Amino acid sequence: MPLMRFDVIEGRSKEDLKKLLDAAHRGMVDAFEVPEKDRYQIVHQHAPEEMIIEDTGLGFTRSENVVLISVTSKQRTEEQKKALYSHLVKEIREQCGISEEDIMISLVSNGDADWSFGMGEAQFLTGKL
């Protein structure tokens, strides 16, 4: 059920984007223990001048491979959130060769009433999920 949005600089191949999405999904499944078919991912590609992702004074060196991952999810524990950050970076680094300095993650939490998967229903509230 987590919704993942990826903001990247345009120019990646279809194969590279698929690797990125697959790696991120593996990290999500491992960290949040969601079902394999619980996959909602959207990629937004931008011209280089449309993405300014700095380091907040932490000394990171960003490159043209920078990826901003925005996750919207039901409430999770701090341990689950930390596990997500760790698992995402590990999978993306290993599968895509993207440096951990180039991976920024933002997580936004919401509740059961904030999701409708279709049919005009709130499936978490109706008990269908």
Count other Cβ atoms within 10 Å, centred on residue 88.
25
Amino acid at 14: K
Helix (H, G, I), strand (E, B) or coil at 74: strand
* Residue in this structure with the two tokens 């990290």, named with its chain if needed: 27
Active site residues: 2
Are the beta carbons of 29 and 36 closer than 8 angstroms? yes
Give CA–CA dist 41/46, Å, rounded. Answer: 17
Q: How far is CA 41 from the centre of its chain?
A: 8
Of 50, 72, 59, 51, which is closest to residue 4 (Cα–Cα)? 72
